[in-house]
Structure 1
Amino acid sequence: MAESNPEKTGSTDNLTGLINRVGLESSLKELDLSEAKALSVVSVEISRFGNVSDSMGAELGNKIIAMTAKRLTKMFPTAVFIGRTHGDHFCLVFKNQQDLEEQLALLQDFTQRPFAVRGQVIVLSVRVGVALWDPVAEETQDLLHSAEIALHRAKREGLKVCFFDQDMKEQAKERHKLENDLRVSLATRHVELHKAISNDEFALVYQPIVNVRNGTIHACEALIRWTHPDRGFVSPAEFIPMAEQIQIMDVLGSWILRKACADAMAWPANEDGSEVGVSVNVSPTQFVESRLLVASVKQAIEESGISPSRLKLEITESTAFATTMVSVLEELKALGCTIALDDFGTGYSSLTQLNDLPLDYVKLDQSFIRQIGSDDVAVDQHGTRLSKAVLALCASFDQIAIVEGVETKHQLTCVTDMGADLVQGYYFSKPLKMPDILTFLNQWK
């Protein structure tokens, strides 16, 4: 039977009866150095357990957690400790590192055995982070923290198992510092929004979307940039997922909407009199607080005075909010806005989204276009066939396609011959700051 002495530590998990995080840390701390050198700490998370719990209810979710704990205890009788650190996270501590690979194989076998809960069959999967004793470690209880850092890496990179190394700790510290910097910057931004004072750390740039049939500028996509006072330029690919993870995209997204709409009011109309639209990306996490999202869009329209039809909201494919997204999008369309599905073809169930969501536009992901014109004939043919098929698919669903990532004359000719009307990419312009996009629009013919 696994050793977990709640009386000794005075710390047990009420739901499972296992030792809890406080107890684990205390028990690890009490081990002497000779014992610790032989230890391996394994941090385990049940993947996507939140989805299971949401669909089945909290009571059945708790039952699955309790059953998981019982099964872990039965499957790993030689573990020094088995604990539940929080939520759907467990920790196993093994003494003999030579048997570790066998224990990890058992963990994967554990996921292949379904649970039967009130007539429903549930199959779980896990991600695992592993920490072995490292002479650099300052305390024995640091092993738990190291295992959790490895688990986070496994989650980010889609790995089943990840082993800790010291570089991960430095990267984790750097990531934590960047998160803190982002929080501070956005807290400052939040205050300044109400004071209508601009924060120079954040800025918007705009990339034109060209109507290649009539030669007008259809719209410009707003893209956010962050220039940190110490770090310099921080890639959106780095800080946008971070902002989503720490749940502050509603603050950032609201500012982007207001700023983009205000900037668009200064843009000149096309020579035929048509007005240039502005496209703004909406994060899937903003649909969590859907009322706030709708209120932010209303506020941006009212404050700027922009015609709602000029505002195009770009959403990305997501399963997380599929059930609520339709009603929210219909409410946004009722305001007069148009909706575009961004990065089409790279996410979940694209055909389902085309059929179910109230869309006006579909943006083809630039990965389709990159292959066109490749020196490798097979790659070029693959990209051409794929792009042609996706454009035909959009047409069959009566969706207006916007082709992203066009960088060469050859690519432009190809997608135009395929029937594309709206094109975006470096062939026409890179993303431009506000003064430069004004110059671009005034000079466009």
Structure 2
Amino acid sequence: MSEYADIIINATPPPLITLDKNLRIVTANDSFYTFFHVKSENAIGYLIYELDNKQWDIPALRELLETILPQKTSFNSYLVEHNFANIGRRIMLMNAQQIEEDEDRELIILLSMEDVTERVDELVTANEEKDKLEDDLVIANKEKDKLEDDLAIANEEKDKRADELVIANEEKEHLLQKIRRAASVFTHTQESIMITDATATITEVNDTFSRITGYDSKDVLGENSRILQSGCESPEFFREMWDTLQTQGHWRGEISNRRKNGQIFPAMLSISAVKNADGLTQHYVSLSTDISSIKAYQGQLERITHYDLLTNLPNRVLVADRITQAMVQCQRGSQSLAVAFMDLDGFKDVNDKYGHNMGDELLIAVSQQMQAALHEDDTLARIGGDEFIAVMINLEKPEDSVPVLECLLKAAANPVTVGDVIMQVSVSMGVAFYPQDGVEADPLIRRADQAMYVAKQEGKNRYHLFDTAKDNLINTQRKSINDVRTAMASDEFVLHYQPKVNMQTGDVIGVEALIRWQHSVRGLVPPLDFLPVIEGHAISLELGEWVIDRALSQIIQWRSMGINLPVSVNISAYQVQQSNFTTRLATLLALHPEVAPNCLELEILETSGLHDISQVSATMNACRELGVRFALDDFGTGYSSLTYLRRLPAHLIKIDQTFVREMLENADDSTIVEAVIGLAKAFRRDVIAEGVETIPHGLALLKLGCHLAQGYGIARPMPAIDIPKWVSNWKADDSWQI
């Protein structure tokens, strides 16, 4: 470089150096040596990056120099912050520029440096203070907004308090109205109301209480509620009542009370405990209803249901129950009983010759003669037409029945005089014994019936003892169970569906699922040909669950076609009495979450097979919690019909088709149908008639107040695929629009 250049460089205040194209230091001014504490011999000729033990190998410096090298005459500036070994942390503003020397036109780089550490730090500090001021301003604005919000909330609270004051006044007025209404209800309700304190001392009664019991308020206020006790209930009954009140806070049940005149009457009683904030009972409120009329109606219906109206003898329902009870008694005493199924010989000829009225007189007389031939504890029943059943109990051995059987033959053959006409018939009897020929009433009756036909074939006016190999029966049942199991594995069972309708409105209210066996040889087999054989066996539970599962699937399929139909499914007494029935039902419902549980109705066949009514009632209530509904099927055919109706939580009762089918020709059946409809209304249950086979059947039912029906006169059971078309085409008969 020229001498003048050196002078200029040294005269420049900021540190300054020149570099050749290889970035080696060519010259440096005094400011450079002074500022960076570097000696000339440690700088000239060195690569800039190796300066001061490579302290100058700074990335920002490299970027500056490598950017300027290829560009000839150019100028760039970089801020370089570095912790130098000799002077510590500094921020340098470095300017680099390429220039040419005049002599040899060599390119050199002029690198000047200015210490801007203090200026940059001051600027950073100023910016930080500015940011802090801005943050403080934001906080101040937020505080201002919060104060404004608090003011708004305070104003809202003031308005709310004003509104609450208005509402409180309205609620006070509403409460006064409720108190007035409650007082009016207390005074005028049709239910008897009695209020006692915690010690059962009567503190208040309403007018209905006085009307029902005969006690004025002045007669009972201050008296203990025991004044109404009739003495019909045991001390244990009242202990259980009070235990329930203490633990649950309420009790409901049937009780016998005594009026002021001493008359005892049945009542439906509900007691609730009223407690204070500490949980201590302050009062008891009891509501009761006189159910004397219902009881009388119930007695009338039980008489109709369980006795033959012509002869006043027990009917088939009652005699089956007595056989069951006698079996229990025989089992305890290791005794036998005999069931004789009797059919009068020649009775049809009497009817044809003298007419039905004379035939009825003959039936009454013969029944009285046969009744006289039996022991006091024995039972004679008329089960229809000219058929009777005699039950002989307390037999040490089957042979002990022979003298009684002989007496029955003689009694039936005695001539009967009606007016001026002397008539004579005889009887053919079939006899079966417990426990030799059966351990249930229905099979025993059936076997006695079979034996009676043998007596007919052998010449009539005699008896025949049932005799069959038990092994054959067992083998037959075992084969039938295996056949059913194979049919399930082969998917041979199908469901047909019978529509249920509202005859008055014309609505289709649902369908009943009825199982069929699509047998490879026998064709479509009805349920009565295979269900009775498997009843009480585990396979019946599997088949029952299959029916429920298939019915739920069918509901979904119909819904996809725009048809929403509830489906009812028959379940046996054996199935509903399984301890895990509710759990299994919940599992089946969970497999079909698309189906609302109230679309499924379970029809319980009314039978003596329901041994533990309390347990069945608890199971039904648990299933109702799931949403499933219940119906009592074949109502009126079981001995405990009214017990079931009172204790089982079924919303629907189905009038048995045997009564409905004959109601137009048989006055007794019509009376039973009318009685069941009346009972359903009394107990606030829906009622549906089965066996509606003709338009006149439906019309008669409508006139009796029964609107729901199913039967061949409406539709036969059909495959699921046929239901949509039937639903769209069906129309109620015009004569039903009454």
TM-score of the aligned structures, taking structure 2 as reference length: 0.37
Residues 257-336 of structure 1 aligned to structure 2 (within 5 Å): 257-267=548-558, 275-291=564-580, 293-304=581-592, 305-318=594-607, 319-336=610-627
Shift of 1:416: 0.8
Partner of 2:480: 178
Partner of 2:713: 427
Structure 2 Cα separation of the partners of residues 217 and 171 of structure 1: 43
Of 362, 368, 374 in structure 1, the residue corresponding to residue 659 of structure 2 is 368
Structure 1 Cα separation of the partners of residues 399 and 329 of structure 2: 24
| Alignment CA distance shift 1:47-1:398 (3 Å) | closer
Residue 663 of structure 2 aligns to a residue whose secondary structure is coil
Shift of 1:278: 0.5
Structure 2 Cα separation of the partners of residues 236 and 311 of structure 1: 21
Residue 405 of structure 1 aligns to a residue whose secondary structure is coil
Q: Deviations over 1:68-109 (max 9, x none)?
A: 49x9xxxxxxxxxxxxxxxxxxxxxxxxxxxxx996333799
| Alignment CA distance shift 1:323-1:441 (3 Å) | same
Which of these two proteins has the greater Rg computed from alpha carbons?
2
Residue 219 of structure 1 aligns to a residue whose secondary structure is strand
Partner of 1:157: 444
Residue 516 of structure 2 aligns to a residue whose secondary structure is strand
Of 342, 358, 364 in structure 1, the residue corresponding to residue 633 of structure 2 is 342
Maintained 8 Å contact 2:481/2:539: no
Alignment partner of 1:254 is 2:542: no
Letter in 1 for 2:444: E
Alignment partner of 1:418 is 2:704: yes
Of 368, 389, 393 in structure 1, the residue corresponding to residue 675 of structure 2 is 389
Which piece of structure 1 moves more, 239-248 or 276-285? Answer: 239-248
| Alignment CA distance shift 1:323-1:173 (3 Å) | same
Shift of 1:177: 2.5
Partner of 1:409: 695
Q: Deviations over 1:326-345 (max 9, x none)?
A: 00000011111111000000
Structure 2 Cα separation of the partners of residues 239 and 422 of structure 1: 29
Amino-acid identity (%): 31
Letter in 2 for 1:423: A
| Alignment CA distance shift 1:154-1:105 (3 Å) | farther
| Alignment CA distance shift 1:154-1:258 (3 Å) | closer
Q: Deviations over 1:105-164 (max 9, x none)?
A: 33799xxxxxxxxxxxxxxx96154xxxxxxxxxxxxxxxxxxxx558997232679432
Structure 1 Cα separation of the partners of residues 505 and 466 of structure 2: 57
Structure 1 Cα separation of the partners of residues 730 and 634 of structure 2: 27
Structure 2 Cα separation of the partners of residues 153 and 386 of structure 1: 26
Structure 1 Cα separation of the partners of residues 441 and 681 of structure 2: 40
Maintained 8 Å contact 2:503/2:698: no
Unpaired stretches in structure 2, ≥5 consecutive residues: 1-322, 337-394, 404-431, 449-463, 732-738
Count of equivalent residues: 304
Partner of 1:194: none
Letter in 2 for 1:324: Q
Shift of 1:413: 0.4
Residues 193-212 of structure 1 aligned to structure 2 (within 5 Å): 199-212=490-503
Shift of 1:421: 1.9
| Alignment CA distance shift 1:126-1:216 (3 Å) | same
Structure 1 Cα separation of the partners of residues 326 and 674 of structure 2: 39
Residue 718 of structure 2 aligns to a residue whose secondary structure is coil
| Alignment CA distance shift 1:164-1:410 (3 Å) | same
Shift of 1:244: 1.3
Of 366, 376, 399 in structure 2, the residue corresponding to residue 105 of structure 1 is 399
Of 416, 419, 434 in structure 2, the residue corresponding to residue 127 of structure 1 is 434
| Alignment CA distance shift 1:51-1:267 (3 Å) | farther
| Alignment CA distance shift 1:432-1:355 (3 Å) | same
| Alignment CA distance shift 1:364-1:323 (3 Å) | same
Partner of 2:514: 223
| Alignment CA distance shift 1:205-1:309 (3 Å) | same
Maintained 8 Å contact 1:277/1:310: yes
Letter in 1 for 2:538: Q
Partner of 1:436: 722
Structure 2 Cα separation of the partners of residues 425 and 234 of structure 1: 19
